[in-house]
Structure 1
Amino acid sequence: MTMTAVGLHRNQTYVRLWVSYTLSSLGTFASLVSLPLLVMASSGSPVGVGLISFAGASFMLLVLPWAGLLVDRVGWQAVMVRADLVRGIAFGALTYTVVTHQVTIGAILCVTVVNSALGVPFISAAATALRAAVPSEQLSAALSVNQGRAALVTILGPLAGASLYGVAPALPFAVDAVSFIVSAALVATLPAPTAAPAHGPTTRWTDITAGWRFLRGHPVLRYMTLNVIVTDFGINGVVVVLIIGTSASGDALGTGVITACTGAGNLLGSAVTLWAIRHIRPRTLILVATWTGALAVSAIAVTDQVLWGALLAGCFCVATPVLGVLTNKTLLEEVPQDIVGRVQSVFQTLPRLVAATGPVVAGLLLGVLPVPAVVLLFAVPLLALALFTTLARALRPALR
């Protein structure tokens, strides 16, 4: 384990990619908080907040079919550099409008669209770059480190955005602009050769949908994609149910406890993932992870204690990094090089879009049902997934 860690540390291409993705992700997650705050300050309209959220999700869907195609045509380095450079310029322009008191909903909407639209190919390109930067024997270690980074960024990014906005409204957007530009510079100056493919895919429908067809025809990756979608949808929805429930009862401390437990669960899961993958069979890990999620959510439904609910949600989050690393490792090892960008764009984006509906569904259900009933409804697909994973004979030889 030590030798692998040293190897990754000395791999300058991986280190630069890691720092680049971290900076880019911090900017993205910081904007998730700072942009809605800016909308409310400039217009006072909750409708405006909903509009920018809808626009961001809509453009992610529109870009999805083309993002991977772009990566496979021009190469991951060019995509990462240009995506972050344009996003840096966009946030720089927004900073100027805030400083000069000329900010409008239209300007915020444009930046949101640019950030969301370019985030899809950037994520696909970054995942593709990992395959080029890291030897196959170090993939598990690299993916485990990346999983821990993701857990930290999802916690620190929104906190940074809110804190910087409290100091000065323009500050989070200025920091976002700098983070994107520095990220672009790091990737642009990589020493490794990253030439575009000699014969890239065309814009024909068969080329555009190659990633979807590959995932559909690969039993393990098809199952793992389903697993990630159901799991992310479940945890996102349940956490929102718990937060809304505690907020409605006036328990501000409970909301903090829930957030802390889920974040700690993700970090703990990331820390043990590499050991688990090296010592436990993949099918056993997947079974443990899926049943942990299903039973944890079922148990949350029968407890009225905030602390127990938060701890159970944290247990659910411990299992999710293992699934993420196993899935990404399989994807990077088995997808042909000429379509890896298109497969990555589908896999990296589709689960996020579905997971984003979890909080929406939770809010709608809480309008007509009590908290325990809503949690039980979220447990149903998780239990179905666990039973399917246990009983599906076709997956046993592939997952071993």
Structure 2
Amino acid sequence: MDQLQRSAAARHGGQPGPRRVATPWLALLAGPLSYGISAPALVLDDLARAMGTGQQAAAAGVTAFGWGIALGTPLLAALLARRGVRAVLTVATALVVAGTVLLVLSTRVPALVAGAAVQALGSAGLTVTAMKLADSARRMGAVAASLAVVGATGPLTGALVADLLSWQAALALPLLAVVGVPAARRGAPPPETVPAPFDPLGMALVALLVTAAVLTPHRPLVAGPATVALLLLLVVRTKVRPDGFLPAALARSGRFLAVCALAFALGVVNFALLYAAPDLLREHAGWDGTRSGVVLLAPYLLGGFGSGFLVAASVRVPHRAVAAALLVAGTTAPLLAAATTAVPLLLAAMTLASLAAATGQGVLALRATDGVPASHQAEALGLFNLAYLLSVAFGPAIAVTLSQ
């Protein structure tokens, strides 16, 4: 019998590997990250009253979450590249649980900020892992769609959960992602390469660069020059350590940098319109915030669900054509929103922006790893997502500036 088993294994390429993670589990692993961005939107008043502070101070938790996912994405992607899926799932789950507990128990803003940041670090790790395990356009489309759909429904879901339970429960929604962890662990492949030596200086430079970039829309005179200086130092670091925290193979790849730039631009347009939408609808249609929130579900849900199909179909279209279509859509959306006062056209612009951003995240994530050595694919995904997530800091700031 042993001889028969060995013969069968030889015919089929050796011992069977881990089972493929089902697509719904990947969507569940990634999607709840968007709750951390959008679920607090309609519960900030409750949160501010509970903390005994103003709404602006209470919103610091959302800013901290944005910083955490931007920083956690490259950090956890580096861990993924060096230690494999199981290690990242363990660390990310611990961070999400610890951050959620701190959020739920917090009674002061500093504890709230710390909890949101820790929760975001873990959420970023789970999302990067889901994208790493999404080994086809269809599966990547499902992951991107889950992020967009959850983001679209997040404000309404957060408000309903706060009404039924508490504002703490609304802030705990990203914890839902850990439900998908056991299935991801069962399908986790072993680490693909021998880990490269760790680069603590490179990691510190990336962390400082992310922090400066996130602060740039709020403190441009200080954070802007700091961002440029840190970027130059990071470029120098890639020459000293080509296999460091930022691999030179990525930093010198024109295709990779172009993909990241396009994803960032599409994200900026989408988040700027998302935050400008209530004011535009109030100005042109006289709608209050609640009515606008309900109506806006339609364009952003359409964009989220539609992106899943478009990402899957993108493999049959030349890459240049896909990139051109995304660029046209991302340019048309803000121009249409600025040029019209008709509500249907405003909603069409928002649908177009949502569709372009969500589709771009999925399609361009697949392109970001094209031609990248296997040893750097996890870092490529992490840095690509970092570029996209930085748009969360810039889009709303641009919307507020233009509305003044």
Q: 1:115 aligns with which of 112, 119, 132?
A: 119
The answer to whether the 8 Å contact 1:36/1:49 transfers is yes
The answer to whether the 8 Å contact 2:158/2:170 transfers is yes
The answer to whether the 8 Å contact 2:38/2:154 transfers is yes
Aligned to 2:385: 348
- For the structure 1 residues 20 and 194, does the alpha-carbon distance in structure 2 shift closer, same or farther, using more than 3 Å as the test? farther
Deviations 1:187-236 (A, max 9, x none): 34x1554347433332254244434x333322222211111111111222
Q: 1:246 aligns with which of 248, 266, 281?
A: 281
Task: Map 1:175-190 to 2 at 5 A.
Answer: 176-177=174-175, 179-188=176-185, 190=186
Q: Which amino acid aligns with 2:125?
A: P
- For the structure 1 residues 85 and 184, does the alpha-carbon distance in structure 2 shift closer, same or farther, using more than 3 Å as the test? farther
Task: Map 1:318-397 to 2 at 5 A.
Answer: 318-367=355-404
Aligned to 1:270: 308
Task: Map 1:238-317 to 2 at 5 A.
Answer: 238-248=273-283, 250-252=286-288, 253-254=291-292, 256-278=294-316, 280-317=317-354
Q: Gaps (5+ residues) in structure 1? A: 1-9, 368-400
Task: Map 1:145-160 to 2 at 5 A.
Answer: 145-160=142-157
Farther-moved stretch of structure 1 (106-115 vs 261-270): 261-270
In structure 2, C-alpha distance between the alignment counterparts of 1:284 and 1:345, rounded to whole Å: 25
Deviations 1:36-85 (A, max 9, x none): 45531312412322432333344455556533322222212211232123
- For the structure 1 residues 261 and 76, does the alpha-carbon distance in structure 2 shift closer, same or farther, using more than 3 Å as the test? same
Aligned to 1:48: 57
Task: Map 1:8-157 to 2 at 5 A.
Answer: 12-15=20-23, 17-18=25-26, 20-22=28-30, 24-25=32-33, 28-29=36-37, 32-33=40-41, 36=44, 39-42=47-50, 43-60=52-69, 63=72, 66-95=75-104, 97=105, 103-130=107-134, 134=135, 139-157=136-154
The answer to whether the 8 Å contact 1:148/1:270 transfers is yes
The answer to whether the 8 Å contact 2:33/2:174 transfers is no
In structure 1, C-alpha distance between the alignment counterparts of 2:130 and 2:94, rounded to whole Å: 15
In structure 2, C-alpha distance between the alignment counterparts of 1:171 and 1:288, rounded to whole Å: 40
1:140 Cα offset (Å): 1.5
Corresponding residue SS for 1:334: coil
Aligned to 1:392: none
- For the structure 1 residues 76 and 24, does the alpha-carbon distance in structure 2 shift closer, same or farther, using more than 3 Å as the test? farther
Corresponding residue SS for 2:21: helix
Q: Which amino acid aligns with 1:21?
A: L
Aligned to 1:201: 197
Over the aligned positions, Cα root-mean-square deviation in angstroms equals 3.1
Q: Which amino acid aligns with 1:344?
A: L
Normalising by the residue count of structure 2, what TM-score does the alignment of the two structures yield?
Answer: 0.73
Q: Which amino acid aligns with 2:56?
A: V
In structure 2, C-alpha distance between the alignment counterparts of 1:174 and 1:262, rounded to whole Å: 23
1:220 paired to 2:255: yes
Deviations 1:361-388 (A, max 9, x none): 2112211xxxxxxxxxxxxxxxxxxxxx
In structure 1, C-alpha distance between the alignment counterparts of 2:74 and 2:333, rounded to whole Å: 35
1:163 paired to 2:167: no
1:284 Cα offset (Å): 1.7
In structure 2, C-alpha distance between the alignment counterparts of 1:110 and 1:168, rounded to whole Å: 23
In structure 1, C-alpha distance between the alignment counterparts of 2:344 and 2:354, rounded to whole Å: 15
1:308 Cα offset (Å): 1.3
Corresponding residue SS for 1:275: helix
The answer to whether the 8 Å contact 2:57/2:109 transfers is yes
- For the structure 1 residues 35 and 91, does the alpha-carbon distance in structure 2 shift closer, same or farther, using more than 3 Å as the test? farther
Q: Which amino acid aligns with 1:292?
A: A
Farther-moved stretch of structure 1 (357-366 vs 196-205): 196-205
- For the structure 1 residues 84 and 38, does the alpha-carbon distance in structure 2 shift closer, same or farther, using more than 3 Å as the test? farther
- For the structure 1 residues 215 and 355, does the alpha-carbon distance in structure 2 shift closer, same or farther, using more than 3 Å as the test? farther
Q: Which amino acid aligns with 1:241?
A: A
In structure 1, C-alpha distance between the alignment counterparts of 2:328 and 2:346, rounded to whole Å: 17
- For the structure 1 residues 245 and 150, does the alpha-carbon distance in structure 2 shift closer, same or farther, using more than 3 Å as the test? same
Deviations 1:322-381 (A, max 9, x none): 4333312223343222222222221111221134311112112211xxxxxxxxxxxxxx
- For the structure 1 residues 165 and 358, does the alpha-carbon distance in structure 2 shift closer, same or farther, using more than 3 Å as the test? same
- For the structure 1 residues 229 and 164, does the alpha-carbon distance in structure 2 shift closer, same or farther, using more than 3 Å as the test? same
The answer to whether the 8 Å contact 1:39/1:48 transfers is no
Deviations 1:292-346 (A, max 9, x none): 3323332322211122111132133333444333312223343222222222221
The answer to whether the 8 Å contact 1:23/1:183 transfers is no
- For the structure 1 residues 154 and 47, does the alpha-carbon distance in structure 2 shift closer, same or farther, using more than 3 Å as the test? closer
In structure 2, C-alpha distance between the alignment counterparts of 1:200 and 1:115, rounded to whole Å: 27
- For the structure 1 residues 70 and 158, does the alpha-carbon distance in structure 2 shift closer, same or farther, using more than 3 Å as the test? same
Q: Gaps (5+ residues) in structure 2? A: 1-17, 203-240
In structure 2, C-alpha distance between the alignment counterparts of 1:94 and 1:258, rounded to whole Å: 28
Aligned length in residues: 342
Farther-moved stretch of structure 1 (63-72 vs 260-269): 63-72
In structure 2, C-alpha distance between the alignment counterparts of 1:48 and 1:66, rounded to whole Å: 27
Corresponding residue SS for 1:194: coil
